[in-house]
Amino acid sequence: MKIALAQINPIVGDIKYNCKKIAEYIEKAKSHNADVVVFPELSTVGYPPKDFLFMKDFIKANENLVEEMILPATKGIAAIIGTVRQDIRGNLYNSAFFIYNDEIIETFDKTLIPNYDVFDEKRYFKSSSQIKIINFKGLKIGVNICEDVWKDYVFEPNVDYSVDVLAEQYKLKPDIFVNISASPYHLGKQSMRVEMIEEKIKKYGIPFVYVNQVGANDELIFDGSSFVVNGKGKKVKELKAFEEDFKIVEVEKLNDYEELPEIKEDISWVYKALVVGVRDYFKKLGFKKAVIGLSGGIDSAVVAYIAVEALGKENVLGISMPSRYSSEGSVQDSEVLARNLGIKLRIIPIEPVFESYLSVFNKGNDPLGDLAEENVQARIRGNYLMFVSNREEYLALATGNKSELAMGYCTLYGDMSGSLAVIGDLFKTQVYELAKYINMDKEIIPISIIEKIPSAELRPNQKDEDSLPPYKILDEVLRLYLEENASVEEIVKRGFDENLTKDIINKVNRTEYKRKQAAPVLRISCKAFGIGRRMPIVHNFKL
């Protein structure tokens, strides 16, 4: 029997587009003489649909379009499709429809409903009350949905799944498992998935087909990376990462397929993820052009490169906005970067507007050099970017990194302005790593940008380390606290100063009000700011 893996990129809410794409891939599977074609979780509505699921018209539209567009396409072929099911009581289920010859012949509802990190499915879905398999043309298939295979591999507190879906399905003696997923990516996730499935299948001894969504929706990026593990627990087929893809496997020959090597997830995966995140954010919103404030620093340089890769150089505009404190090298570096990228660059000094602020608020006296004067420079730049955005139909991209966002080393309505925070989940040290990757074959980001001492250039001779610990130390403390939920005691045991650790954590906790007003952050770590980290703005907890 031939099974087709259809790794598609759905658009949340565009049910007609999604169903049309599904129907096209069904026809493609037919042309390859496939018996069954498998699609990702909730592929008719896109993942995550969030509170659209509370709208009766949304649910009805999904039901109608599945019936009108997908069922007729299944003449002569079976399709396993992720969608929403509503029962007669109005309860919703995250489901897989097994469709054959214009008829839904079986439904599989998701059993384990995730409600942690970025997941909020218990808000919408009921859990399945039945574990089952289906016999199709003599092949017994155990269909399950995303989280159903993650029992014992969820490293979140208070997640206790009493049902082992694979173990229960295995009791029904299936010949193969098929899992449909919408599994968001973070660095290391694919290695974790493959290792988990290979270990489970060594116990069960039957093949496993995993089909994952690809693309990006809001902060979440989906890598696809669908794969097949044979009955020996060896990965023998893998689809592309961060691209739509389609492949066929013959079930009876899986043990004869060559084992594939382990994939090393490095900074190149982060790069690809961010490109997809930017590209889909623009494409699915209907925008084409991005504007970026080029400061001559490494953050804006990396964001500009990613924007060019995602949107094309003709659709990216850089604006250099020097002030009296900007170094000559910063403007020159921005010019070189723009030439290397092939993008347009405008130089618009902020000095006239900055001078007007100083004269209004200092009443003719000399500048005070205080925080208000520093921050108003960032806010003038933010206003310049938004003016261009409004007048010329660009979306502004924010260029702040995770280290800055964590410490509040950023200005509301200033450098935080933008529709999307492209590198907001990369620590500063990771930004340097990404810049070096970008320059791997040739110098695109000027070496002078990479080697210069980081500075906001808002006062004379300013350096980031005037206000922050060295990034090498800061980033590791932040990583332990934010991504490993480590306590002060645990961090100190790793060799960090206790007072410094407490100071860093206290600054993170008291600057939540800024992050609540930040642009959506593309997620590439296991704990990004935004949807997966829910902290109060108003609190008085201190270490």
Domain coordinates in residue numbering, the chain: 2-254, 270-515
Tokens of 192: 């974790």
111, 130, 212, 507 from 41: Cα distances, Å: 13, 18, 7, 39
Tokens of 186: 């973070």
Tokens of 494: 């790793």
Query: Are residues 44 and 62 in contact, defined by beta-carbon separation less than 8 angstroms?
Result: yes
User: What per-residue confidence (pLDDT) applies to 123?
Assistant: 96
- How does 113-151 read in b/e, with b if 16+ C-beta sit within 10 Å? bbeebbbbbeebbbebeebebbebeebebbbbbbbbbbb
Query: Distance of alpha carbon 235 from its chain centroid, rounded?
Result: 25
Question: How far separated are the first and last CA of the chain, in Å rounded?
Answer: 61
Question: What DSSP element (H or E) covers 320?
Answer: strand 316-320
Query: Are residues 288 and 279 in contact, defined by beta-carbon separation less than 8 angstroms?
Result: no
Tokens of 421: 């925070």
- Looking at 19, 21, 106, 146, which residue is catalytic? 146
**Is there a common fold for 2-254 and 270-515?**
no
* Angle subtended at Cα 151 by Cα 277 and Cα 143, rounded to the nearest 5 degrees: 75
Tokens of 511: 């600057």
Residue 427 makes CB contacts below 8 A (sequence gap 6+) with 401, 402, 403, 471, 475, 478, 479
Tokens of 325: 């404190």
What distance in Å separates the CA atoms of residue 81 and residue 180, rounded to the nearest whole number?
A: 8
What distance in Å separates the CA atoms of residue 11 and residue 40, rounded to the nearest whole number?
A: 13
What distance in Å separates the CA atoms of residue 457 and residue 463, rounded to the nearest whole number?
A: 8
What distance in Å separates the CA atoms of residue 447 and residue 371, rounded to the nearest whole number?
A: 31
User: What per-residue confidence (pLDDT) applies to 429?
Assistant: 97
What distance in Å separates the CA atoms of residue 298 and residue 300, rounded to the nearest whole number?
A: 6
Classify domain 270-515 by CATH number: 3.40.50.620
User: What per-residue confidence (pLDDT) applies to 363?
Assistant: 82
| Other beta carbons less than 10 A from residue 235's beta carbon | 22
Residue whose structure tokens are 């998701």? 110
User: What per-residue confidence (pLDDT) applies to 160?
Assistant: 75
What distance in Å separates the CA atoms of residue 527 and residue 529, rounded to the nearest whole number?
A: 7
User: What per-residue confidence (pLDDT) applies to 456?
Assistant: 81
Tokens of 531: 């949807």
User: Cα-flanking dihedrals φ and ψ of residue 229, to 5°?
Assistant: -110, 130
Active site residue 542: no
What distance in Å separates the CA atoms of residue 337 and residue 340, rounded to the nearest whole number?
A: 5
User: Cα-flanking dihedrals φ and ψ of residue 248, to 5°?
Assistant: -115, 140
What distance in Å separates the CA atoms of residue 468 and residue 461, rounded to the nearest whole number?
A: 15
| Other beta carbons less than 10 A from residue 461's beta carbon | 9
- Looking at 41, 106, 238, 265, which residue is catalytic? 41
In DSSP terms, which residues pair with 142 in a beta bridge?
Answer: 177
DSSP code of residue 67: I
Please provide the size of the chain in residues: 543
Active site residue 237: no
Question: What DSSP element (H or E) covers 227?
Answer: strand 227-229
In DSSP terms, which residues pair with 93 in a beta bridge?
Answer: 85
Residue whose structure tokens are 């990190």? 117
Residue whose structure tokens are 């500063």? 428
Given the candidates 3.40.50.300, 3.40.50.150, 3.60.110.10, 3.30.70.930, the CATH classification of the domain at 2-254 is 3.60.110.10
What distance in Å separates the CA atoms of residue 62 and residue 14, rounded to the nearest whole number?
A: 10
* CA neighbor of 303 nearest in space, from 343, 332, 264: 343
* CA neighbor of 112 nearest in space, from 132, 89, 92, 128: 128
Burial of residue 490 (CB within 10 Å: 0-12, 13-18, 19+) is: middle
What distance in Å separates the CA atoms of residue 177 and residue 111, rounded to the nearest whole number?
A: 15
List of the chain residues with pLDDT < 50:
none
Three-state SS string over 63-129 comes to HHHHHHHHHHHHCCCEEEEEEEEECCCCCEEEEEEEEECCEEEEEEECCCCCCCCCCCHHHCECCCC
User: What per-residue confidence (pLDDT) applies to 300?
Assistant: 97
- Looking at 21, 110, 235, 527, which residue is catalytic? 110
User: Cα-flanking dihedrals φ and ψ of residue 280, to 5°?
Assistant: -75, -35
DSSP per-residue string spanning 16-32:
HHHHHHHHHHHHHHHHT
User: Cα-flanking dihedrals φ and ψ of residue 140, to 5°?
Assistant: -90, 120
User: What per-residue confidence (pLDDT) applies to 374?
Assistant: 93
User: What per-residue confidence (pLDDT) applies to 518?
Assistant: 95
Active site residue 27: no
What distance in Å separates the CA atoms of residue 283 and residue 515, rounded to the nearest whole number?
A: 25
